[in-house]
Copies of this chain bind each other. A is one copy, B any other.
Amino acid sequence: MAGEGEVVRGNKKVVLRGYVTGSPKESDMEVVTSSTVRLTVPEGSTAVILKNLYLSCDPYMRLRMTKHDEKNPNFVPDLVPGEVITGYGVSKVVDSGHPDYKPGNLVWGSGIGWEEYSVITNPQGLLKINHPEVPLSYYTGLLGTPGLTAYVGFYEVSSPKKGEYVFVSAASGAVGQLVGQFAKLLGCYVVGSAGSDEKVNLLKSKFGFDNAFNYKKEQDLNAALKRCFPEGIDIYFENVGGAMLDAVLLNMRAHGRIAVCGMISQYNLQKHEGVHNLMLTIQKRIRIEGFAVLDYGSSYGKFEQMVLRDLKEGKITYVEDVAEGLENGPAALVGLFAGRNVGKQLVVVARE
């Protein structure tokens, strides 16, 4: 497929300047315009060349900006200072030496660079998009990893039952908004917390949460939870950690379940906050279970089928926060940790 008349063109990219301590800043990243890329695959290579369309901003990316070592390992590899940031995205195949991918194919997956074009030498992880009738950007959210995370975290980790009391933190985010909707569809009572009145309104008016509160306006998280859950909480979908987890433990019901999806309030701290109420796991027989969507690839088919159906039937909705252009990528990513995004944060590099 690679020919003689190779096309070489500029390739704008976002590079990590160095490992990050504390809250990430835009200046921890740099938009580089001097890079070039060859748009044809060399003879004999099984690489694919992607034109990147949508890039996903995910909280776990912050963890990859910290230097880890054997004593303090991470479950995904650290990013490399001076090199392009990578993550989940949606792309179009421009050229391919791999039999499974053809030019024009739309794909999504991880390992996609924050750049206009990416050369993927080991493309097995790229999934083909078979439903172009759905907005392509949904493969960074609703139909991508956040969606699958919500699905497995709720249905497979939380053992939910109709009528149970469900609390979701960071509830308007990429994952939380779906957990709440899944729980409502199952017949649960659902309350969400978020960091602005705008998000709280969204939870109630758009996603159908039974109740919601702005955690930044609450003097006492325990009291806020008691107000929203006079009967207590059966399932907590944990996205934030720290003080919220402590308050939730006080309000869990017997045999409650806490699915630990993320702890975004802790990612920028060098020493994580202490959680003081773990003894209640005994009195209340609570199960706390951390999970990583990476382990649940085999659930994708079932999940996709369900979401596509619910989407067509108008039972599910999804809110995105779209940053235009790679230049705005660093601000969009950094904004996640200040809660500036409303809904799933993504970056548009190009629209096909």
Contact = CB atoms under 8 A, between A and B. Distances in A.
Given A283-B74, A283-B75, A278 B292 contact: no
A342 to B, nearest CB: 24
A262 B282 contact: yes
B278 A272 contact: yes
A110 interface: no
The prevalent SS among residues of A at the interface is loop
Interface string A260-283: 111100100001111111111111
A26 interface: no
A295 B254 CA distance: 11
A291 B287 CA distance: 9
Contacts of A61: none
B287 A261 contact: no
A264 to B, nearest CB: 10
A245 B290 CA distance: 16
A271 B74 CA distance: 31
B278 A276 contact: no
A291 B254 CA distance: 10
A279 B263 contact: yes
Contacts of A224: none
B282 A291 contact: yes
Contacts of A291: 282, 285
A73 interface: yes
A129 interface: no
A292 B285 contact: yes
Given A285-B295, A295-B285, A266 B279 contact: yes
A278 B275 contact: yes
A154 to B, nearest CB: 16
Nearest to A281: B290
A128 to B, nearest CB: 28
Contact of A241 (B262, B278, B283, B289): B278
Given A75-B283, A272-B279, 5 more contacts: A260-B282, A278-B288, A281-B289, A281-B290, A287-B289
Interface of A: 73-75, 241, 245, 260-263, 266, 271-292, 295
8 contacts: A260-B281, A263-B278, A272-B278, A274-B276, A275-B276, A284-B290, A287-B289, A287-B290
